[in-house]
Structure 1
Amino acid sequence: MSLSSSSTFRAAAFLTALLAGTSALAQDAQPAPAPAAPKASRPGQPIVVTGSRPQVIDAPDRLSFNVANDLGAQTGSLADALRNVPGVEVDLEGKVSLRGDQGVTILVDGRPSGMLRGEGRGDALLSMPANQIERVEVITNPSAAVSPEGSGGVINLITKKQRQAGTSGTVRANIGAKGRGSLSVNATNSKPGLNISAEAGYRRFTNEIEVSQERERILPGGGLLLSRQESEFENVAQAFNSRITVEKDLDKTNRLTGEIGYRRAEITSDREELYVGNGVEPSFTRVGDQDMEQRVLSLRSSWRKTLPGKDHAFSVDLERDQGGMNRVIRSVTSGASVPTGFERIENDIDRRETRLKADYKKPLGKEGRSLNLGYEYERGYADLDFSGARGPSEGGLVVQPGLTNRFIYRQDVHAAYATLQLNSGKWEFQPGLRLEQVKLDLDQRTDGTRYDQDYLRLYPTIHVGRALSDRTKLRASYSRRIQRPGPLELNPYTFYLDPRNIRRGNPELKPEITDAFEVALQYRKDATFLSLTPFYRRSKDGFSEIVELLPDGTLLTTRANLGKGERLGVDAIVNGRLSKKLTYNLSGTLQRWTIDADGSGGNFAEVSDVVASARGSITWQPSAEDYVQLSATSPGKQLIAQGYRKLGGIVNLGYRRKINDKLSLLVTGQDVLGTARQKVVIRTPSLRDELDFKVNSRALFLGLTYNFGGSSAKKRPEGFDFDPSATSVGQ
């Protein structure tokens, strides 16, 4: 067991005392009572608001943000949609982080997605269309009913759904320059006891990437060896997704659901690279191409049983994801002092994941009190088959043992959890406990070596809330999180990037454990929502990227457990209305970030810095038919054990014209200032390395949205799509 029950009680006592003291101070400073807000039953229960859906929904363990009104997301990728969500950052390689922490689990409608897990997640985020996403839930301290995987927290993508009677749907089409565009359709047929929904989408995007890498190799006598690598890439990304869901009510208490989904992405890249060496490392040029394919087939079935009594239910879910990634690199290297050489590198990764979940909810007499019990099982399997060949001609390629290997990953997780909801008056209290048994088996087929891990751990969670008034709420939470390394991070064999940059995993990696504390003060009135969230996160056994310069000048990146890490900071969110036609959304994070590599034997110094990030949008609705939006992001610096990563800001523009009740015109400009770039800086006693990554992602899109079918009287209010005064709602 990794945490004693006394630690759980101490955390509960700390949060409760902190809330009690803070609420007393806040109540002393409260102004005279304002006019009553829409009626709410008690803390933790929804406030009913009619007329439009909310812009922000706050719940005991999460904040949910509407992205249906983000015009850039309607023509962009999942990465574009996430960049405007408070606390979330996505770099130009598709690495997503929460408050700078890349340990993030991404769910779709509350379930894991095979496409958004593992080594291909970044490319999927950059290529998959976002116009089917309605809301994004940010869960930094989930309850025990949610897997603790993800040191930074959980992002849950909520897809758009139509529930009106009859047949209805939406068609969206967008076109841009340089072969860019997208097309999607979703449709629903609903009648009493049966609902069938289907969606399909295609997106094509092109861009150019310029990468400059300058490297200083520090010699033992104090001299320097300087080298530079200049690379240009032309990329074409195509993504296709489809899903069909059937919900059948067998009777008033039993519902069966079946779903099948398929996602596929293809990315082709033409590359030109120039390496300027020194007296030890020769100069050369490299011309080549890369083809990468990702695919996943998802199957899901569920049974929901409503039992006697309010909020009394039992459910069983069974899911299966099967897919993977295939990457092929072909290139030719030549230079004045190097012979012409051909190479072919192939990485084939097959993944299979099976999940079973049983969940039981029971009310405990008084309203606002309930018990939630559950069991989850997840089996993960990955087969990594890598090969590499080089030779003087395309027909004379010879297999390279250092680039050819086979690695099998298996992991079984059994989990049992329990949470209590105990609301009393203005207080809400939700303790939870999760027990997980994990068995990990690693099989290096190439050399016949096996590794295994077997551990049992407890993950407590606590959420405490106090209503200070009809408009103000104070919440505090604690959770224990885990970040488990994935197959690629555990595979000790070489993953080839280019002749001067390679990666290897570490089968000895241990999971990273994080204890997360938060306090949130939230205020809402009409269209105004304010949230201030101080947070503290403490990690141990954090695994970080470590770089090492090999004798031939190649940079090797691997991972190691490097001691402790701390984050102390605050999130701020302000949404409101400047006038009847002008609204704004602002958010930012300020934190002190420390990485203390105390387990490295003195090889790494402590890294600490104060970092900040901000994002915002302003929306102008001059008429009921016109909607104009300007949004911008300024990501913060991200610390790593040997340096930092810094992202550039992005500015987007959008205009939507409502032609009639069924048809709308959309024009968006992405990265209008051409500032999408990132820099990675590495500093060690023997190396100084700076990588500057710039993407020409500036794009203009013209789109049309057409709604068909359904009864206009039963549609959700059109005002949600065009009314910027959507209110905040507490749940």
Structure 2
Amino acid sequence: MSKTEIVSIFTKKTLGLTLVLSAAAMAFAQEKAGVSGMIVNKKNLPVPYASVTFTNKANKSLSDAVLTDEKGQYKLQLAPGDYDITVEAIDYKKSIINKNITGPGNIGALSIEPEASSTLDGKTQELQGVVITASATKPYKVELDKKTYDPSQDIVSKGGNLQDVLTNVPSVSVDTDGTVSMRGNSNVKFLINGKPSSLLGIDDGANALQSIPADQIERIEVITNPSSKFEASGTAGILNIILKKNKKTGFNGSVTGTLGYLPQTSLNTNLSWRKGKFTWFLNGGGGYRESKNTSRTDAWFNSGINKETHNESISKSKNDNYNTSAGLTYDISDKTSVNASGTVRTFDSDNKGNINYFDYPFTGGSIFRLRASNGTGNNLAFQGDFGLDHKFDDNGQNLSLSLSLQRNRSNNDSNIYDTREDIFQLQDLVNQNTVNKSIIAKADYELPIGENSKIEAGYRLDSNINDYSNQVMQSTVLSPALAYLDKYTYNANYKEMFNAFYVQFKSKIGKLGYQIGLRDELSKVDVDYLNREGAAVNKSKNYNNLFPSVFLSYEIAKDNQFLINYSRRIDRPRSFFLIPNPNYSDNQNIFDGNIDLNPSYVDSYEIGYSISKKNFTINPTLYYRHSTDDVKMLVYDQDVTSKDASGVPQTLTTFHTKPINLGNDDRYGLDLNFNWDATKWLKFLGNVDLFGYKTTGVYFDPTIMNEPTSFEGKGFSTRARLTSTFKIDKTFSFQLQGFYRGGQKTQSIDRKDMYALSLGASKTIWKGNGTISFNIQDIFNTRSMRSTAYGPNYTRDNYMQWQPRQFALSLTYRFKQGEKIDQPKKKKDINSNAAGDDQQGGPM
């Protein structure tokens, strides 16, 4: 692709959308004057993080508020007029001062008096359960119930997407094919703002992760052992992606543009406006990205027809994605608010791939086959969210109601052309269409009991419907006319309904905190399937399971505590796995569904220790998980004989992959996370996961007639990640990120180790309103997956690289009229979560 084409894509496809959004939002801005000042105590010492509210006497809509910084200073934009200035801070008396603002300038220092219980020097003293905390500056925080990652300080993923960000999150790994895992387990449950979301598509594919811009992510919550308040699915844990919703007064926003190679362009904007009782946000943008996937397979067969085969697959794709989100919050009163938001996301792709097959029978000679594929895909997702939050009193008795309506439509077409020794063999036309409709309704209630206890209870309804339509047509050298492959042409309907109830009790006795919870989930799954052969399946499955959780904490000292927890969870089969013949894209590699697949269950235990100081945080955790009916992928081969154009028989070896309930899986290990500000110019963020695994079970190999085969796989492996941030000066920093994943070996597969190194640099410009960033992903082009699989009659080596080395340059511009008005008056309740939806807590 030429530079002219890249610029054309950038300007035509993304610039227009963002400029329209920005222009619409700028209409709300008003002419104001820059006002600054300072809050001090009676000893003329600065008062940090005080709340300063300017109330316009003539027009309440012109009122505004701001927090002082660590030096007691503040800045904001105000329209000229008479104002009542209200100053509030912990351990200080509330102060109200009248002031006339005539124009821009500094209004001087305002003095406030300490409360009677404060120390004589005016400094804030620590009260029981009350700690003043500054805004979080660490990229990684350990909380009792979760770990929180802030991607804003991740220079390497600037201008990237959710998948790029996840590669740098502690305790999380992203394989070369886009598979996300936590502590070696890929059964991860994704949430967007606390709920399953159509933004992630159906079955959380890698393409969906690439369609959410990194610039729209506020933080990522890593929840390895969720409590009963969360839905029970996801045996590895939960990744909660919190998207940006600005809480600043006035008009605020940012625009980020990115150019990179392999060719990629993007332009995204985040806008917000807050006045009086109304708050709205508008996020949107789009991008173009090219990808290149390379895989090679070498197989040796020692039974039947002895031979060796080699194939190489290179596929390239071009992706366009656009997204727009808008939301509004209205404060009916000081205690009641309603909110509504909507999201639209599109994802379009063009894919071209070639697979070269080389077969070498041991009897001599060779056979060359070429399989070329052209495909297109498009995905359209809608989501509407509605909510009501009500505070019954100021003691923490709250009720939250929410409703989410979602729809996702995915359509994919493939044209596959197969030749043998340059002679036409067959053509496949494949069309896959899937429509998902979801309704999620929730009610959460909190009731404090005294100062140290709380009861939480709630209800949740999940209704999901997936409609699958699959058509496969084929023409061969012997049958030139296109005809349906009846086995793979089908319609299927998948329905699931979950009703969940939970209750939790939290309390504290001295330094010991505890939480006990119980969740009951009633699940009903219906599958209706019919293909052109007439094979029909109509099956219903019902589950009713209890999921307890227990959390304990013991505070040794301030910011120094032991954590112990237990939870039980479920892994329900994906809808895709239950369809008998879900897809057909390659006649040598076929995925078979399993209608008899059952859920697997896991009991998860953790013992952790957390110490957090000004310059460092250390969080080692010992964990153990025991899974029953664990789902594994069974791979087996079959020889299929057909005739070519000359009537000569030819044998084709086909590999089949099928999910099965194998047996028990045990995982144990040490997960160590840390961040360390070594000096003012050097910071480290690291994660080391040392884990062992053992899987045992019995399965029936389709190639061995109804004879059970025992399986046992065990071993030990390592995963590690280290990010080093170097601050050259106040405006310039760069990062080095290293990643290593140790090899894993079982009875049937030997996966080699993998490592990669990435670089990023960031420079603040335009007096702090702009940032320019540059990054290189996988500097040495080493991020690839290599493995060897062993079967009863074959050995197969595999190599895969999902994306080669790439680099990107991004520019961000920020514009603002106000500051945050949320004052951190109290230490955050460890039972709460800012996402406010389906969130868990630990003991108080």
TM > 0.5 fold call: yes
Once residues 335 and 417 of structure 2 are traced to their aligned partners in structure 1, the CA distance between those partners, rounded to angstroms, is 65
Deviation at 1:578, TM superposition (A): 1.8
Contact in 2 for aligned 1:618/1:630 (Cα 8 Å): yes
Once residues 380 and 714 of structure 1 are traced to their aligned partners in structure 2, the CA distance between those partners, rounded to angstroms, is 39
Once residues 41 and 487 of structure 1 are traced to their aligned partners in structure 2, the CA distance between those partners, rounded to angstroms, is 52
**1:570 corresponding residue in structure 2:** 670
Three-state SS of the structure 1 residue aligned to 2:781 is coil
Once residues 54 and 465 of structure 1 are traced to their aligned partners in structure 2, the CA distance between those partners, rounded to angstroms, is 23
Identity of aligned residues (%): 23
Q: 2:709 aligns with which of 600, 603, 610?
A: 603
Once residues 715 and 46 of structure 1 are traced to their aligned partners in structure 2, the CA distance between those partners, rounded to angstroms, is 16
Once residues 119 and 51 of structure 1 are traced to their aligned partners in structure 2, the CA distance between those partners, rounded to angstroms, is 36
Contact in 2 for aligned 1:75/1:701 (Cα 8 Å): yes
**2:297 corresponding residue in structure 1:** 213
Deviations 1:260-298 (A, max 9, x none): 011222222111111112449953112221212222111
Three-state SS of the structure 1 residue aligned to 2:436 is strand
Asked if 1:491 corresponds to 2:579, the answer is yes
1:701 maps to amino acid: A
Once residues 266 and 680 of structure 1 are traced to their aligned partners in structure 2, the CA distance between those partners, rounded to angstroms, is 32
**1:5 corresponding residue in structure 2:** none
Contact in 2 for aligned 1:39/1:48 (Cα 8 Å): no
| 1:259-658 alignment runs, 5 A limit | 259-279=341-361, 283-336=368-421, 339-365=424-450, 367-392=451-476, 396-446=481-531, 447-552=535-640, 553-598=653-698, 602-637=708-743, 642-646=748-752, 648-658=754-764
| 1:65-144 alignment runs, 5 A limit | 65-116=149-200, 118-144=202-228
Deviation at 1:501, TM superposition (A): 0.6
Once residues 488 and 515 of structure 2 are traced to their aligned partners in structure 1, the CA distance between those partners, rounded to angstroms, is 51
Deviation at 1:562, TM superposition (A): 0.5
Once residues 46 and 158 of structure 1 are traced to their aligned partners in structure 2, the CA distance between those partners, rounded to angstroms, is 26
TM-score by length of 2: 0.77
Deviation at 1:40, TM superposition (A): 7.0
Deviation at 1:120, TM superposition (A): 5.0
2:357 maps to amino acid: Y
Contact in 1 for aligned 2:221/2:240 (Cα 8 Å): yes
Once residues 793 and 285 of structure 2 are traced to their aligned partners in structure 1, the CA distance between those partners, rounded to angstroms, is 49
Once residues 638 and 313 of structure 1 are traced to their aligned partners in structure 2, the CA distance between those partners, rounded to angstroms, is 48
2:170 maps to amino acid: P
1:450 to 1:353, Cα distance in 2 relative to 1, 3 A: same
Once residues 454 and 98 of structure 1 are traced to their aligned partners in structure 2, the CA distance between those partners, rounded to angstroms, is 28
Once residues 751 and 132 of structure 2 are traced to their aligned partners in structure 1, the CA distance between those partners, rounded to angstroms, is 43
Deviation at 1:395, TM superposition (A): 8.9
Deviation at 1:517, TM superposition (A): 0.0
Asked if 1:702 corresponds to 2:809, the answer is yes
Once residues 207 and 117 of structure 1 are traced to their aligned partners in structure 2, the CA distance between those partners, rounded to angstroms, is 19
Once residues 295 and 679 of structure 1 are traced to their aligned partners in structure 2, the CA distance between those partners, rounded to angstroms, is 34
- Cα RMSD (Å): 2.4
Once residues 638 and 78 of structure 1 are traced to their aligned partners in structure 2, the CA distance between those partners, rounded to angstroms, is 26
Deviation at 1:52, TM superposition (A): 4.5
Once residues 494 and 417 of structure 1 are traced to their aligned partners in structure 2, the CA distance between those partners, rounded to angstroms, is 35
Three-state SS of the structure 1 residue aligned to 2:585 is strand
Once residues 647 and 119 of structure 1 are traced to their aligned partners in structure 2, the CA distance between those partners, rounded to angstroms, is 27
Once residues 342 and 224 of structure 1 are traced to their aligned partners in structure 2, the CA distance between those partners, rounded to angstroms, is 28
Deviation at 1:621, TM superposition (A): 0.8
Three-state SS of the structure 2 residue aligned to 1:413 is strand
Q: 2:313 aligns with which of 231, 237, 259?
A: 231
Three-state SS of the structure 2 residue aligned to 1:161 is coil
Deviation at 1:497, TM superposition (A): 3.3
Asked if 1:192 corresponds to 2:276, the answer is yes
Deviation at 1:95, TM superposition (A): 1.0
Deviations 1:600-628 (A, max 9, x none): 57424200010110001000112111111
Deviation at 1:188, TM superposition (A): 0.2
Gaps of 5+ in 2: 1-123, 641-652, 701-706, 825-841
TM-score by length of 1: 0.89
Aligned residues: 678
1:629 maps to amino acid: Q
Contact in 1 for aligned 2:176/2:803 (Cα 8 Å): no
2:156 maps to amino acid: G
Once residues 666 and 609 of structure 2 are traced to their aligned partners in structure 1, the CA distance between those partners, rounded to angstroms, is 22
Contact in 2 for aligned 1:494/1:502 (Cα 8 Å): no
Contact in 2 for aligned 1:75/1:668 (Cα 8 Å): no
Deviation at 1:195, TM superposition (A): 0.5
**1:29 corresponding residue in structure 2:** none
Deviations 1:514-560 (A, max 9, x none): 00000110111102000100000000001111111012211111111
1:261 to 1:628, Cα distance in 2 relative to 1, 3 A: same
Three-state SS of the structure 2 residue aligned to 1:411 is strand
**1:182 corresponding residue in structure 2:** 266
Contact in 2 for aligned 1:416/1:435 (Cα 8 Å): yes
Deviations 1:191-210 (A, max 9, x none): 12110001012122213222
**2:61 corresponding residue in structure 1:** none
Contact in 2 for aligned 1:408/1:445 (Cα 8 Å): no
Once residues 126 and 218 of structure 1 are traced to their aligned partners in structure 2, the CA distance between those partners, rounded to angstroms, is 41
Three-state SS of the structure 2 residue aligned to 1:673 is coil
